[in-house]
Amino acid sequence: MKKNIIFAAFAFSAILTSCEGYLDRQMETTQDEDITFSSYETAINVAYGTYSDLPQGLSQIWGSNGSAMLASASDEAEFTNQTHSVQKFNTGAWRPTDLPDNPMSNYYAAIRRAYDFIDNVGRVNHDDVKDNPSQPGVYEERLANIEQLKNEVMLLRAFYMFEMVKRFGGIPIISGKLDQDVDYSTIQRASLEDCVDEIVRWCDETASVLPPRQPDAELGRLTRGAALALKSEVLLWAASELWNNSSWASGYAHPELISLPAGDRAARWKAAADAAKAVINLIPEAGYALDEYSNLFGPTGYRSSEIIFCRRDGAGNSFEKTNLPIHFDLVTGGNCPSQNLVDLFQVKVDDDMAVDFDWSNQDMVSDPYSNRDPRLAAFIVTNNSTFKGTSIQCWTGGLDGAGVRNATPTGYYIKKYVNPDLDLLAGATSIHTWIYYRLPEIYLNYIEALNEYDPDNADIKIYYDLIRDRADMPGLPSGLDQDEVRRLIRNERAVELCFEGKRWFDLRRWMDEDALGADLRAVEITRNAADGSFTYKPYILEHRSFDPAKMWFYPIPQSEINKMPHWAQNPGW
């Protein structure tokens, strides 16, 4: 009996051994590492995967009914839905445990992808095209493209680093594809200075290799201009107040994370001006030129000669569904321009003179939108203006005004980026372009820096006027002192680049505490039934919460601090 059992057990184990193949994977259906990097196409996809984390500012902060722009967290706008997470910035409810705008994990994953590409693209098997007479030159083209993509992903790494540095200050510098078993307790936040040096170094390295412009088929990929524009922005930050001032965080143990070492500010401003000038000097080669706003922010905006670097997504209409005036079908309410912003658009007195809008001037107040900087009408939908073939009724009781659910809380709707020609009911869509760098910003970088260390430089008026001319506004008046010019340059930046995701950071860079903590204002519009005229009365819509003891930087998310307890939190958080 015993023997039988032993025999049976033996027989069974013999069967099992022979059946082990039954448990092997039957077929390759997944894309594993070898497959990915043996093919040119899929290896290239890894490089493009690095691109795909570029921020999409039209929907920067996700919400269940409509995504918000960063503009709705700054003094430019207010988001209609009061429970949207962007409001946490406005109410002061953002904190290490609740940060509505936290790109850290995406960007570090993208940086890893960049190195993954660089480390592994050498494994591509080119046998199909190498020495293949039927495909002459393809092999060489591939090698050249790979070389260029290596530079592009390194520039993307610099771009992502800067996106994080703007928010968090000094961050860990990752310079390779980390091993899976890395001892991450040794990874430290780098100083702000090291981060800036690293970003600038890679801007320089890639700028020397990348082409000044991409051929039509490759439009949208990084260029020399993008590298130089990023450098210009980084160096402008390096010269500006925030990174040169740690006094607000007195007693903070790690000032090197939030500020640069004391140095020659004038030299820093000059470096910033030079970096901007380097982009300007590229104009002949790159073909940059100012364009029509309607083209720039329209459905083919990405082709505009004005753009240095942008991204576009597939054709869509969610931006319209979120942001159009509420009476249009399928619209849910979104980013609404504030009175604070509208007030920055000057009143054009004549071809040579413009003045600020003045609420104590009854002539202006009775008809507040006439004679304004034409960009107001180009970027913002105001009451009783014609839009999409109809007159927009932002007054109380009007189809788009107070009283209608999800109507604008401010009295305005955004027009920049909106495609007015889409038939939403028919499901029509169009491409939307989100711009990172365009020529006027470089001009503004340049003259802002110049004005700080060389206020008499003639270039200030030249480049200021270039922007104003295109907008059909008078140029820089003569005889202004440095402070007045600074105010005008900053005002110009706010107006020209409104909603473009810049002001949220500019106000921090300038340490403009007044604007950051300013009450958000709206306008109450009353329609006088008798004659159809309107009365405009500004009022405070929302008290914005800004704590100057900490809110210059984002907090490092608590979830990261918990895993990296040796990291210093930013001051005040």
Sorted by sequence, the CB contacts under 8 Å of residue 52 that are 6+ apart come out as 110
Shortest distance, position 476 Cβ to another protein, whole Å: 36
Tell me the three state secondary structure of residue 189.
coil
User: Measured from the CB of residue 32, what is the shortest distance to another protein in angstroms?
Assistant: 5
Binder of another protein out of 123, 201, 487, 563 (CB under 8 A): 563
Sole window of 190-198, 312-320, 483-491, 526-534 interacting with another protein (rule: CB under 8 A) = 312-320
- Subset of residues 426 to 445 that bind another protein, contact rule: CB under 8 A: 431
- Per the DSSP assignment, residues forming a β-bridge with 438 are 307
Residue 465 sits in the site that holds another protein (CB under 8 A)? no
Selected from 125, 281, 390, 562, the binder of another protein by CB under 8 A is 562
* CB neighbour burial string for 213-244, b if at least 16 within 10 angstroms, e if fewer: bbeeeeebbbbbbbbbbbbbbbbbbbbbebbb
Which one of residues 78, 101, 116, 163 is an interface residue with another protein (CB under 8 A)? 116
311 binds another protein (CB under 8 A): yes
At closest approach, how far in Å is the CB of 46 from another protein? 5
Q: Does 365 bind another protein (CB under 8 A)?
A: no
Which x/- pattern over 161-190 shows residues binding another protein (rule: CB under 8 A)?
Answer: ----------xx-x---x-x-x-x--x---
- How many Cα neighbours within 13 Å face the side chain of 195? 30
Site for another protein in 319-338 (CB under 8 A): 326-327, 329-332
Return the number of the residue (513 or 542) whose C-beta is nearest another protein: 542
- 347 bridge partner residues: 355, 372
By the rule CB under 8 A, 20 interacts with another protein: yes
Q: What is the DSSP letter of 426?
A: G
Write b or e for each residue in 176-212: b if 16 or more Cβ atoms lie within 10 A of its Cβ, otherwise e. Answer: ebeeeeeeeeeeebbbbbebbebbbebbeebbeebbb
Based on the number of CB atoms within 10 Å of its own CB, is 343 exposed (0-12), middle (13-18) or buried (19 or more)?
middle
Please report, for residues 54, 298, 369, 462, 555, the alpha-carbon distance to residue 373 in angstroms, rounded to integers and kept in the order given: 32, 20, 9, 19, 38
Amino acid letter, residue 361: N
Minimal distance, residue 388 CB to another protein, in Å: 14
Residue 42 engages another protein in binding (rule: CB under 8 A) = yes
Binding mask 503-532 for another protein (x = CB under 8 A): ------------------------------
| Near another protein in 251-280, by CB under 8 A | none
Question: What's the rounded Cα separation, in Å, for the pair 151 and 114?
Answer: 10
Rounded-to-integer distance, Cα 461 and Cα 479, Å: 11
Give Cα 64 distance to the centre of its chain: 21
* Nearer Cβ to another protein (289/355): 289
- Hey, what are 436's tokens? 């990172």
Site for another protein in 189-218 (CB under 8 A): 216-218
For 90-218, list the strands marked E by DSSP. none
Residue 444: what residue type?
L
Q: Does 287 bind another protein (CB under 8 A)?
A: no
In the window 395-414, what residues touch another protein (CB under 8 A)? 396, 402-403, 405-406
What's the closest the beta carbon of residue 45 comes to another protein, in angstroms? 4
Determine if 27 is a binding residue for another protein (CB under 8 A): yes
Residue from 253, 425, 458, 529 that binds another protein (CB under 8 A)?
A: 425
16 binds another protein (CB under 8 A): yes
Q: Residue 482, interface with another protein (CB under 8 A)?
A: no
CA distance 514 to 518: 6
Residue 112 beta carbon to another protein: minimum distance, rounded to whole angstroms? 3
**Site for another protein contains 125 (CB under 8 A):** no
The reply on whether position 29 binds another protein by CB under 8 A is yes
